[in-house]
Structure 1
Amino acid sequence: MYSRNSRITSKWVYNFIVFTILIGSIRLWSFVYIPDRVFDFFEFAIVFITIFLLANKWSKLKRKDLLFRKNVKYFILIPLISSFGAYFYHKQEFYWSLIELRIIFFWLFYFLLHAYDISESKIIKLTVKIGVIWALINIIQQFTFPFYLFRIDAGAGGEDSIDAFIREGLLRFRISGQQYGMFLVFFSFYHFLKTRKKILILYVIIGLLGFYYYGTRQFLFGILIGLVICAFLVRGSSFHFSLLFLLIGGGLLIYNMDLLFGSLIKKSNEQLSSEDYIRFLSADFYLNQFWPKDDWFSRFIGNGQSQNLSLYGKEMNSINSDLKFFSSDVGIIGGYSKFGVFYVANVLWSNLKGIFYTYKLQSRRYLILFFVYALMLLLLSEYYANAAVIPFYCIIFYLVDKANEQAKSKI
């Protein structure tokens, strides 16, 4: 009895730790009343706790067949190597780089999930719940402004100025956790097509509204394309149902296109027709100009991750404020500028591997959507060195591993 109770207690503790890591990594959905320095400290705590918990379990991991073992190790190693680029090309001391790169050790969460065999069903439920909360915050705060509790930054116009929030007719709070919203939509829609449970379509609607009010075009359109792909992942009668559902849903979407997306499309057309569209200029800058002259080796190790208090950080702040060139706006090109060509190769390798293995699965085929989605938006956004997103990718990798294990056991 004692042994059984002890195991139950241990599992509860490990599940709580997983919950804490996930909530901490997204900074409690960007809760405004907790200072960033508290979350910065918490990120260090997450790293140390993860390393401590892995210390006694590392030998167990050696016996496991982990599909993404090498990819995860490279996601840690490659940014660390780039600190040499920050030092030699931008005079940033190594300790500044290590402070800023603390979040890449969040990739150890992948090994932590395997080391303690965290329940797949529990982590899926937790991921869905985080996505639901993210979506509801985006929806509710549209109607409670100027009162709000969750937001990333103030932007231009002052902390509570309407100009600091509004864009394309929507109030943008840009809260962390959109990947969990993506999981909510894809997971719910896939299982709705298979089971036709009405509660699941409610989750899909909540998730889509969350992305609509989030206000970022590429995420919303990427989600919609993902839903179309999702319809082709189911088989049998579910496939015919999914086609009918898509035809009806697509018809309603087209009929209300101007009402729902008129301002977004108009804004997109204005930006694309502008000769000096800032995103293209940023891409050219980080792809071709922001490199040491005649130093081909820099393309391999990258410029490194800047830290705001260093000289390199001040250089980047000047580029951001004066030129409005943000590496985060140009997706994998920004990653290439920071971490070099091997980082790009690892991102592509991880996603192509994910597509290859999930395509063969009989169960959890919806997991392929996260890799396809990542590749679709790669030139606009990539988050493999982002504290809020790394644990999410660890979960996706973990679920693919577990599904692959189950498939092998049936052979």
Structure 2
Amino acid sequence: MKSIGEKTTKNVLVLFSILLSMQFWSYIPYLKIDGLPPKLAGLLFAIYIVILFIYRKISINDTTGIVRIVKWTIVTIFISFIPAYIEWNQSVISTVKASIVLSYGLFLFLVLHKWQYSTKALMSILTFLSVVWVILEIGQQFTYPTFWFSGRFLQNNSVNERMGIWRFYIWGVDIVMISFSYWLFRCIDLTKKTNKNMAKSVLIAILLMAGLLCYGSRKHIFATLAILAYSVLTVKGKRKYVYVCIALLLLLFLFETFFAGYAEMSERANEAQGEGEDFIRYISAQYFLFDFSNSPLYPLWGAGLEGEGSLLKGQLERLADYGLYQADVGIIGYYSKFGLLGVSAIVWYIYIFLRNWKFIDKWFKYFFIMKMFLIIFDFWAIWSVGMMAYAVFLYMLDQNIKKNKAILK
């Protein structure tokens, strides 16, 4: 009974941790919940520290180097108090609070290692949360203007329409991308081990893909279709041509359904943002690379992580009025926060992934390719939910590499 209760407690903590990073499927307009509550993030952070202390005698086997990557990422985030204090006079406490909110998922990674948490159970939690996310994303299309969950309601008091779809921008798309990669692989893979219930796999994969398409983001649509094409083209055996035909029919359906709206949306976006040197993302990237700070600390350390009510946060809010956002320029925005020190952790991750390519199951490669596709536009480590998704993905990746290396010995 004790082991069952302990297992349940662990599952609940993991579920709540990920759900909190998604802000409980984002803002609830009528409750006016704005952003991730720092006190809840701090509470979870404290719980992780206590757990790590309790399990301190259990060493973490870091044969892949991924644990070191996570620890270095944590260090680069927390030492951002140095440039924030020196250049922006931001209090150390303010930066530490912001660092906890951003990075608490990385501490969960360490907890999962101490527990040797089941990757199967973790994938079940991610799938459950992703399915609910998609149901909300699609379901609210039919209830609008009545809706309950949105990631943009409190930012601009409106919901955008794209391609005939209301874009609620519910937080958690990174979690859905992990789940989609997993279930797409379950559909494509032909081994008995992963093909016990093809109907279930196909249904979940289609549902998750529909959610990603209804998310209304051009870059995510491209990434989803690209990985779908990649997964089909890398299938081996006689059934490859069957999958190719199914994929072509699906693409034809999407083309007929979305193309007109997509083309109109893209044209409108280009008119609003300009082209060439006036393209807003290009301007933002150039600004955050070269013009945001003249400090000699900036290239190596970045400007630091902004805290509530600080001069740094105020400056970023003023830039936002001109359409310049760190989040819009992906890893360049991350560089502007944490400098080359912060970016070095990401480069290290990419190197480890590519070095272990032959030991990694294909669905991990799906997610990796999708995120590399988006790295300049939608960098995961800018947001708490993206960092949480990154952390749980790294944990499963670490376990996968170890398992496959053991099999091949």
TM-score by length of 1: 0.89
Query: How many angstroms does 1:66 deviate by?
Result: 4.9
The aligned counterpart of 1:190 is: 185
Q: For 1:172, which of 167, 175, 200 is the aligned residue?
A: 167
Q: 1:396–1:177: structure 2 CA closer, same or farther, 3 Å change rule?
A: same
Deviations 1:281-307 (A, max 9, x none): 1111101101225x2x42001100112
Residue 8 of structure 2 aligns with an amino acid whose one-letter code is W
The aligned counterpart of 2:275 is: 273
Deviations 1:175-215 (A, max 9, x none): 11101221232222211122381332222222222122221
The aligned counterpart of 1:200 is: 201
Query: How many angstroms does 1:74 deviate by?
Result: 1.4
Query: How many angstroms does 1:342 deviate by?
Result: 2.2
Output the CA distance in 1 between the equivalents of 2:288 and 2:212. Answer: 28
Greater mean deviation of Cα atoms: 147-156 or 208-217: 147-156
The aligned counterpart of 2:398 is: 401
The answer to whether the Cα contact below 8 Å between 1:358 and 1:400 also exists between their aligned partners in 2 is no
The answer to whether the Cα contact below 8 Å between 1:152 and 1:176 also exists between their aligned partners in 2 is yes
The aligned counterpart of 1:292 is: 294
Q: 1:118–1:233: structure 2 CA closer, same or farther, 3 Å change rule?
A: farther
The aligned counterpart of 2:13 is: 17
Deviations 1:46-70 (A, max 9, x none): 1111111111223323445353111
Deviations 1:104-148 (A, max 9, x none): 232011111111121121111111111111111111111111211
Output the CA distance in 2 between the equivalents of 1:87 and 1:55. Answer: 30
**Equivalent residue of 1:61, what SS?**
coil
Residue 309 of structure 1 aligns with an amino acid whose one-letter code is G
Output the CA distance in 1 between the equivalents of 2:71 and 2:239. Answer: 39
The answer to whether the Cα contact below 8 Å between 1:186 and 1:366 also exists between their aligned partners in 2 is yes
The aligned counterpart of 1:392 is: 389
The aligned counterpart of 1:35 is: 33
TM-score by length of 2: 0.90
The answer to whether the Cα contact below 8 Å between 1:304 and 1:339 also exists between their aligned partners in 2 is yes
The answer to whether the Cα contact below 8 Å between 2:184 and 2:201 also exists between their aligned partners in 1 is yes
Q: 1:131–1:359: structure 2 CA closer, same or farther, 3 Å change rule?
A: farther
Residue 347 of structure 1 aligns with an amino acid whose one-letter code is I
The aligned counterpart of 1:55 is: 53
Q: 1:133–1:358: structure 2 CA closer, same or farther, 3 Å change rule?
A: farther
**Equivalent residue of 2:179, what SS?**
helix
The answer to whether the Cα contact below 8 Å between 1:359 and 1:365 also exists between their aligned partners in 2 is no
Query: How many angstroms does 1:382 deviate by?
Result: 0.9
Q: 1:267–1:42: structure 2 CA closer, same or farther, 3 Å change rule?
A: same
Residue 7 of structure 2 aligns with an amino acid whose one-letter code is K
Deviations 1:237-275 (A, max 9, x none): 454443333333334444555246333333355446365
Q: 1:358–1:15: structure 2 CA closer, same or farther, 3 Å change rule?
A: farther
The aligned counterpart of 1:354 is: 353
The aligned counterpart of 2:43 is: 45
Output the CA distance in 2 between the equivalents of 1:23 and 1:41. Answer: 15
Task: Work out the percentage of aligned pairs sharing the same amino acid.
Answer: 22
The answer to whether the Cα contact below 8 Å between 2:23 and 2:35 also exists between their aligned partners in 1 is no
Residue 181 of structure 1 aligns with an amino acid whose one-letter code is V
**Equivalent residue of 1:166, what SS?**
strand
Which structure 1 residue ranges, 4+ long, deviate > 6 Å from structure 2? none
The aligned counterpart of 1:243 is: 244
Residue 324 of structure 2 aligns with an amino acid whose one-letter code is F
Q: 1:240–1:398: structure 2 CA closer, same or farther, 3 Å change rule?
A: farther
Runs of 5+ in structure 1 lacking a partner? none
**Equivalent residue of 1:171, what SS?**
strand
The aligned counterpart of 2:137 is: 138
Output the CA distance in 2 between the equivalents of 1:325 and 1:351. Answer: 27
Query: How many angstroms does 1:155 deviate by?
Result: 6.0
Q: 1:299–1:351: structure 2 CA closer, same or farther, 3 Å change rule?
A: same
Residue 243 of structure 1 aligns with an amino acid whose one-letter code is V
Q: 1:71–1:372: structure 2 CA closer, same or farther, 3 Å change rule?
A: same
Query: How many angstroms does 1:31 deviate by?
Result: 4.0
Output the CA distance in 1 between the equivalents of 2:250 and 2:279. Answer: 33
Runs of 5+ in structure 2 lacking a partner? 190-194
Name the count of aligned residue pairs. Answer: 398
The answer to whether the Cα contact below 8 Å between 1:358 and 1:365 also exists between their aligned partners in 2 is no
Output the CA distance in 2 between the equivalents of 1:154 and 1:34. Answer: 9
Deviations 1:320-341 (A, max 9, x none): 12x2211001101100111001
Superposition pairs for residues 331-346 of structure 1, below 5 Å? 331-346=330-345
Query: How many angstroms does 1:167 deviate by?
Result: 4.5
Output the CA distance in 1 between the equivalents of 2:160 and 2:337. Answer: 29
Output the CA distance in 2 between the equivalents of 1:58 and 1:239. Answer: 49
**Equivalent residue of 1:389, what SS?**
helix
Q: 1:394–1:369: structure 2 CA closer, same or farther, 3 Å change rule?
A: same
Output the CA distance in 2 between the equivalents of 1:226 and 1:331. Answer: 20
